[in-house]
Amino acid sequence: MRRSPFGALILAAFEAATATNAQAPSALDAASGASAIAGPFAIGTPVRDRLGEVIGRITRMATARDGRSLAMVRKGSDSFAVPVSRLRMQGDVAVSDLTKAELRAEGEQAQD
């Protein structure tokens, strides 16, 4: 079976459009300021404070009004924002140089 040049052109255009859409975020995702990953931090990553206490897991990523990236951390009904600049990855855990109380205070300031 022979392919027409027109059919090959349509197929090439479709493949190019599909590849482009797979790499670029949707306009809705880009406008929302939220994603599943910010730097090395991903949804579900456990978070520990400087004392080694597990303070929760990252439930979503967001952007503060000032443009800083925030990790939304939740443990049970307790939830707060943590600036990702205060976190570093250590193995598969995000670790902060601050205590839970200090992280909470800094997250509240970031959201204002």
* Domain boundaries along the sequence of the chain: 33-111
Percent of the chain residues topping a pLDDT of 70: 60
pLDDT in tens, 2-55: 556 666 656 666 665 554 444 444 444 444 444 455 568 889 999 999 999 999
| Type of residue numbered 82 | V
Average pLDDT of the chain, as a whole number: 76
How confident is the model at residue 87, as a pLDDT?
93
Closest Cα partner for 102 from 83, 89, 76? 83
Strands (E), 1-112: 37-38, 41-42, 46-48, 54-63, 69-75, 78-83, 87-90, 93-96
DSSP-assigned beta bridge partners for residue 79: 74
The CATH fold of domain 33-111: Photosynthetic Reaction Center; Chain H, domain 2 (3.90.50)
Contact 85, 106 (CB under 8 A): no
